[in-house]
Amino acid sequence: MTRNLLYLLMLLLFPSSVFADEWQDAYRQIEKSIVAPTFPEFTVLITDFGADACATALENQRAINRAIRRCSRKGGGRVVVPAGDWNTGAITLLSNVNLVVSKGARLLFSADTQLYPLVETRWEGMDLMNYSPLIYAFRQVNVAVTGEGILDGQASRTAWWPMCGAEKYGWNESVAESQKYGSRSDLLRMNDAGVPVKKRVFGQGKGLRPQFLQFNQCENVLIEGVTIINSPFWVVHPLLSRNVTMRGLHIENSGPNGDGCDPESVDGMLIENCYFNTGDDCIAVKSGRNGDGRRWNHPSRNIIVRHCQMANGHGGIVIGSEASGGVSNVFVEDCTMDSPQLERVVRIKTNTCRGGIIENVFVRNVRVGQCKEAVLKINLQYEPREQSELGHYPIVRNIFLSNVNCEKSRYGAFIDALIDSTNVYNISVTGCRWNGVTEGGNLLRGMMHDVNFVDVKINGETCP
């Protein structure tokens, strides 16, 4: 048994007596294993390769990608975007390259879908060939996006967002390219049938919007300092990658499926000192959906989130819903959350189509002004009417919350477990103060055991 697993076992056996010390020891072991990449001193400017503030998006796209290729061939270094506005299309990162977006610089990504070639990617946990993410790296080592500038996806009610098929985001009958016409369900059927990825060709006409930044099967990744706004879809998406550091980001994305960060089948990730204001989950840990998640069988694990601030979002810290490969060893501490539009603080969601084992989640010292629904939400009946093979019973166990305090919510804890199987257990909530709970307490439905509330007060009264 590894040292890390031994610590986790001790936590499970003796949560009240050794929680703080052993939590810290296991946490430190994971922290030490996550190391941000470094880069050679070699530096090139995108203007040296033809980029120009007055150029078209296609011209600048070609220039930026030329600069990245040259830098990588020279052994790596920094590709610098200087101050100014730069229209562009999809950018492809290569090994040993740090794309530096300088203070005063704005990369403005075009909504022209012709500038986003088909690449191997994943959409809502399902593998496919689709539009390239706005910034994309595939099977690269030592890659980064850093700086004090702005990345603007320019998605809005007139560009990208209408493809989701919802009128509130600009969709109407004149929108020719939309997932409303069945592309999402087509992909789900291909997933369930095990169709090879190279034959799952989407892109033009299908309406499946790209992520902003995706690091697919990469190792040693750094995203630091930049402001990211107006993403077509998920914002930061490390996928099947190892050793990822994300720090000091400011993320604003009010669009549909506007998740701030989605670590998916990631092994080793640090998220710190980031701000999230999103139209969906702020941070959502995932590991693939249904057949694809089970075929890869690659859990997300060893993730640390600390010193972050969450405003709007469906959830602050979320696990799922695409968690078929499992999630383990997630540590969250010293975060603040506050918004009437923040629906939950800690949320776990899956169902009997998606399955997955979700375990060893530790959350402490989180301060919440208000959230809309619940401080802790565990839902094993999320989207129950999926057209997929049933019988993949999820397990949620070993969830620990300590000193997670909230001043306003509808419920304290809301657990919606299965009615025919006890798959939620060993849930420990200690030392929490939940005030302004409008429904007066916790809502626990379905079969579960070892769900314990110790020194928890709801509206000033000790939780039974």
pLDDT digits 0-9 by tens, 234-284: 999 999 999 999 999 999 999 999 999 999 999 999 999 999 999 999 999
Give Cα separations from 51 to 46, 180, 211, 226 (angstroms). 6, 37, 24, 20
pLDDT at 403: 97
Task: Give the tens place of pLDDT for each residue, 26-79.
Answer: 889 999 999 999 999 999 999 999 999 999 999 999 999 999 999 999 999 999
Domain map (residue ranges) of the chain: 1-33, 36-396+407-418
- What is the secondary structure of 190-204 as a DSSP string? HHHHT--GGG-B--T
Residue with structure tokens 């969709």?
171
Q: Which residues contact 206 (CB under 8 A, 6 or more apart)?
A: 130, 177, 179, 183
Cα distances (angstroms) measured from residue 461 to each of 290, 365, 434, 454: 42, 20, 10, 12
d(CA 461, CA 391): 40
Q: Based on the residue annotation, tell me whether 314 is a catalytic residue of this protein.
A: yes
Residue type, 63: A
From the number of C-beta atoms within 10 Å of its C-beta (0-12, 13-18, 19+), residue 419 rates as exposed
Structure tokens at 35: 């190391």
Query: Is the domain defined by 36-396+407-418 classed in CATH 3.40.640.10?
Result: no
**17 — pLDDT class (breaks 50, 70, 90):** very low
Catalytic residue among 237, 314, 392, 416: 314
Kindly list the distances between the CA atom of residue 417 and the CA atoms of 173, 219, 352, 392, 421, in Å, as whole numbers in the listed order: 39, 36, 11, 14, 8
Confidence check: pLDDT of 179 > 70:
yes
216 vs 22, higher pLDDT = 216
Q: Which residues contact 464 (CB under 8 A, 6 or more apart)?
A: 453
| Average pLDDT for 127-155 | 98
Q: For this structure, is 280 an active site residue?
A: yes
pLDDT digit string (tens) for 399-440? 999 999 999 999 999 999 999 889 999 999 999 999 999 998
State the catalytic residue, choosing from 280, 281, 292, 416: 280
Starting at the earlier edge strand, list the strands of the sheet with 236-239: 91-92, 135-138, 213-216, 236-239
Residues 197 and 216 sit within 8 Å (Cβ to Cβ): no
- What pTM was estimated for this model as a whole? 0.95
